[in-house]
Amino acid sequence: MKPKLYATAFLAAALLATAGFAQAQFRTPQGAIDYRQGAFEVMGHHFGRVGAMANGRVPFDAAVVQQNMAIIMTLSRLPWAGFTPETQGLPSRAKPVVWTERARFDAAAQDTARALTALNAASMTNDLAAVRRAFGETAASCKACHDNFRD
């Protein structure tokens, strides 16, 4: 495993280990914002690696896609705990609609979770065409959430 992958895996493990306690243990509302943004940032980094292969910018390596998807799947459960009521109105990229239309926001998060699960399953097939299709659907789900809930 490369050093960057070790560091990322360590961060993912640390975030996962604290996920169950996260909401109760945010010391400040800013801590909750930092937590969710950090999880999204690392997840986006690994999603970008998968996308580079799905879009043909780098050679397809099924094992690397699977490694990145394992990290993404772990991280994808984390950021939602950081959308606490006390973070509403504080400076972040989250739109106010996150709190005023919470059911819609939660549904979008579930749509993304389903799309990620399908992408993860496609990654296990070692089939680039399947990964491309699932990546496109996942990227569209992420974009829809960003368009509706993020500045």
* Rounded average pLDDT over 66-95: 96
* Rounded average pLDDT over 134-150: 96
In this prediction, residue 33 has a pLDDT band, given cuts at 50, 70 and 90, of: very high
Whether 4 has a pLDDT exceeding 70, the answer reads no
**pLDDT 10s digits, 94-137:** 999 999 999 999 999 999 999 999 999 999 999 999 999 999 99
135's tokens: 């990546």
Whether 38 has a pLDDT exceeding 90, the answer reads yes
Return the closest-CA partner of residue 134 out of 53, 29, 24: 53
Q: How many other C-beta atoms lie within 10 A of the C-beta of residue 65?
A: 25
Q: What is the pLDDT, as a whole number, of residue 20?
A: 46
Give the predicted TM-score (pTM) of the model.
0.82
The proportion of the chain whose per-residue pLDDT surpasses 90, expressed as a percent, equals 83
Q: What is the pLDDT, as a whole number, of residue 12?
A: 52
In this prediction, residue 88 has a pLDDT band, given cuts at 50, 70 and 90, of: very high
Q: What is the mean pLDDT of the chain?
A: 89
Say which residues have a Cβ less than 8 Å from residue 98's Cβ, sequence separation at least 6.
83, 88, 105, 149
How far is the C-alpha of 138 from the C-alpha of 20, rounded, in Å?
A: 25
